[in-house]
Chains A and B, each alone.
Chain A
């Protein structure tokens, strides 16, 4: 290597060092530490040393009813959130596609949930679902116990808010996808005798499939990681808590209330693996689709 290239390389490393230090401290180190934690069992009483048990704990957690129930709740939550969040986003994106005067304000409104904080919107939803002054009783929906305390309604209520919060991102993703569908191809289909419905299902949706797939992955990851909504709307003290105890919330409660870092670590690794697989699928799929061209 020439001196100049050495100098450039040194400068390069120097420039990424601050970012690397922060990542290392808050991401890489905890990430690695997590794997170690999973191999140690918490002591029966606080202040005793934790015990190395190897993979024994992993098997124990994965077969425990607490974990299985949590996983089922999570999957149910994903099913409630992902299709609804994507379809509403797609519907709004198609509606906002038209070149109409004054539509810009709707685009802003539709995408606004992206920049709304979880805490603020959770408080708003908390009020809306209040059994006395809320919107739900006003609509004639007033289960007993109230929606957020109700073993049947708690999860759908959180899902409703999660969908609402995701619609903004979904709208933006779908709008971007729609813009990449060439206008002339849609026009060709119309001239070829296709109805609006046919154009949408046979041309727009297939051409949108990379976007839709991306949306599914993003929405699923989002659903897997929904935490704030559950913590604020329901919380650990709630009677319906067990019915909303999705994986990520389970990680938190197991650690904070259960005082069991080992079990929490195992569950967070499961969560990590699910997200990893989804991301890899997404990358594979995109690679296959790139060759599309016109």
Chain B
């Protein structure tokens, strides 16, 4: 057991800064998800913990021990790779046993632990097979078994579900969460899939361009994104971001206004350039709405529908509504109302990014 602490960790590949002064603490027993798009540095961050990448700056602590100069084999962490990285020439039993052997556990002890773990993960019938004879889901469980058999200080998981089909992924997601809760082992879990992050993480750390954007529990992250990147990255579809200028009690945008609740008014002095953010469920089609938009696409998803429309200046907005409600036709001009309680304000930095206000 142990906590993992990134303190100003920086990793460069040539001129590319993959991880930029990362400060992050994974608490003892916590499941923390590193979430971000491809190339955001999340996997590199994970690999620095494993000892597979040396860090250029800062310090990394596992279980109160600074491990900057500790080799991968001596770090007492277990990793589950995206490709599972099983040893193809060894049987399932030997694969699971491998880390125990390296530690010098005696034969009886090894056999007992391998069988215990195999039992837990339902791998007992496959112990004598080679990885090549297993299905994707079975291989994934062997990789998990190989990790948990060691009772390491921390688990590192690098997109372990991305090679599974959709149904199995949902199932395995739940299995990993309950396994992690039962074992209480600190876990750092990398994914680009926000649903995985939302459903699995005690907390989620969102990264982009090597920089940590925000760390928070899933619901808080969704409800109060720290900036426009997080606002847009989380949620499917992401938050609507509508640039405008503050007026009396609203933000004036192309095609109308977005109303502000009282608490936000002090942050929006008249004339200030702002970005109004509203989740698709915070918008509704309403003849009395304060926004006018032209419908581009209507996506029917079964339980709900996404109505995608553009404002006068081309800004796209998405409205989520129950599928049973009538949908507008294409190119139809509709009026949209925003729930003031659902409106967030961001102030832009000129680069298309914006920090949250309030």
Are B50 and A294 within 8 A (Cβ)?
A: no
- Within 8 Å CB of A194, what residues of B? 73, 98, 102
Task: Write out, one digit per residue, whether chain B residues 34-51 have a CB within 8 A of any chain A CB (1) or not (0).
Answer: 000000000000000011
Checking A188, A206, A209 against B85 with a beta-carbon cut-off of 8 angstroms, the contacting residue is A188
Are B89 and A193 within 8 A (Cβ)?
A: no
The A interface, classified by DSSP as helix, strand, loop or mixed, is helix
How many A-B pairs have beta carbons closer than 8 Å: the answer is 75
Measured in the bound complex, the distance between the Cα atoms of B89 and A185 in whole Å is 11
Are A192 and B98 within 8 A (Cβ)?
A: yes
A269 at the interface (CB under 8 A from B): no
Q: Which of A190-245 contact B (CB under 8 A)?
A: 190-195, 198, 203, 206-207, 209
- Within 8 Å CB of B146, what residues of A? 188, 192
Q: Which of B120-169 contact A (CB under 8 A)?
A: 131-132, 146, 150, 156
A195 and B73 in contact, given A207-B88, A292-B132 (Cβ under 8 angstroms): yes
Are B50 and A191 within 8 A (Cβ)?
A: yes
Q: Quick one: closest B residue to A193, CB to CB? A: B102
B298 at the interface (CB under 8 A from A): no
A293 at the interface (CB under 8 A from B): yes
Q: Quick one: closest B residue to A187, CB to CB? A: B52
Checking A184, A190, A207 against B89 with a beta-carbon cut-off of 8 angstroms, the contacting residue is A207
Are B78 and A294 within 8 A (Cβ)?
A: no
A291 at the interface (CB under 8 A from B): yes
Measured in the bound complex, the distance between the Cα atoms of B272 and A145 in whole Å is 99
Are A198 and B102 within 8 A (Cβ)?
A: yes
Are B88 and A193 within 8 A (Cβ)?
A: no
A184 and B81 in contact, given A293-B132, A294-B132 (Cβ under 8 angstroms): yes
Are A294 and B79 within 8 A (Cβ)?
A: no
Are B102 and A192 within 8 A (Cβ)?
A: yes
A291 and B132 in contact, given A190-B52, A193-B102 (Cβ under 8 angstroms): yes
- Within 8 Å CB of A207, what residues of B? 88-89
Are B86 and A185 within 8 A (Cβ)?
A: yes
Among A190, A207, A293, chain B packs the most CB atoms within 10 A around the CB of A190
B91 at the interface (CB under 8 A from A): no
Q: Quick one: closest B residue to A191, CB to CB? A: B79
Q: Quick one: closest A residue to B82, CB to CB? A: A184
Among A187, A192, A291, chain B packs the most CB atoms within 10 A around the CB of A192
Measured in the bound complex, the distance between the Cα atoms of B150 and A214 in whole Å is 37
- Within 8 Å CB of A189, what residues of B? 87, 98
Please count how many residues in chain A sit with their CB below 8 Å of the partner chain's CB atoms: 21
Q: How large is the interface on B (under 10, 10 to 19, 20 to 34, 35 or more residues)?
A: 20 to 34
Task: Write out, one digit per residue, whether chain A residues 267-294 have a CB within 8 A of any chain B CB (1) or not (0).
Answer: 0000000000000000000000001111
Are A182 and B83 within 8 A (Cβ)?
A: yes
Among B75, B81, B89, B156, chain A packs the most CB atoms within 10 A around the CB of B89
B103 at the interface (CB under 8 A from A): yes
Are B51 and A191 within 8 A (Cβ)?
A: yes
B58 at the interface (CB under 8 A from A): no
B77 at the interface (CB under 8 A from A): yes
B60 to chain A, nearest CB (A): 15
- Within 8 Å CB of B132, what residues of A? 291-294
Are B73 and A190 within 8 A (Cβ)?
A: yes
A294 and B73 in contact, given A184-B83, A192-B98, A192-B146 (Cβ under 8 angstroms): no
Are B99 and A182 within 8 A (Cβ)?
A: no
Measured in the bound complex, the distance between the Cα atoms of B86 and A291 in whole Å is 15
Task: Write out, one digit per residue, whether chain B residues 90-109 have a CB within 8 A of any chain A CB (1) or not (0).
Answer: 00000000110011000000
A185 and B88 in contact, given A193-B102, A294-B131 (Cβ under 8 angstroms): yes
Q: Quick one: closest B residue to A194, CB to CB? A: B102
Measured in the bound complex, the distance between the Cα atoms of B98 and A235 in whole Å is 55
Measured in the bound complex, the distance between the Cα atoms of B73 and A189 in whole Å is 8
Measured in the bound complex, the distance between the Cα atoms of B52 and A194 in whole Å is 13
Are A294 and B88 within 8 A (Cβ)?
A: yes
Are B78 and A191 within 8 A (Cβ)?
A: yes
Task: Write out, one digit per residue, whether chain A residues 142-167 have a CB within 8 A of any chain B CB (1) or not (0).
Answer: 00000000000000000000000000
B24 at the interface (CB under 8 A from A): no
A90 to chain B, nearest CB (A): 18
- Within 8 Å CB of A291, what residues of B? 132
B177 at the interface (CB under 8 A from A): no
Checking B74, B75, B79, B103 against A188 with a beta-carbon cut-off of 8 angstroms, the contacting residue is B79
Q: Which of B4-54 contact A (CB under 8 A)?
A: 50-52
A182 and B85 in contact, given A189-B98, A192-B102 (Cβ under 8 angstroms): yes
Q: Quick one: closest A residue to B131, CB to CB? A: A294
B254 at the interface (CB under 8 A from A): no
- Within 8 Å CB of B79, what residues of A? 187-188, 191
A57 to chain B, nearest CB (A): 48
- Within 8 Å CB of A209, what residues of B? 89
Are B83 and A191 within 8 A (Cβ)?
A: no
B264 at the interface (CB under 8 A from A): no
Q: Quick one: closest A residue to B75, CB to CB? A: A191
Checking B71, B78, B81, B98 against A187 with a beta-carbon cut-off of 8 angstroms, the contacting residue is B81
Given A184-B81, A187-B85, 17 extra CB contacts under 8 A: A185-B85, A187-B52, A187-B72, A187-B81, A189-B98, A190-B52, A191-B51, A191-B52, A191-B72, A191-B78, A192-B98, A195-B73, A206-B89, A209-B89, A292-B89, A292-B132, A293-B131
Residues of A within 8 A of B (CB): 182, 184-185, 187-195, 198, 203, 206-207, 209, 291-294
Residues of B within 8 A of A (CB): 50-52, 71-75, 77-79, 81, 83-89, 98-99, 102-103, 131-132, 146, 150, 156
**Sample (5) of A-B pairs whose CB atoms are under 8 Å apart:** A188-B146, A190-B73, A195-B73, A195-B102, A294-B84
Which 7 pairs across A and B sit closest by C-beta, in order of nearness? Answer: A193-B102, A188-B85, A293-B132, A192-B99, A184-B85, A190-B72, A206-B89
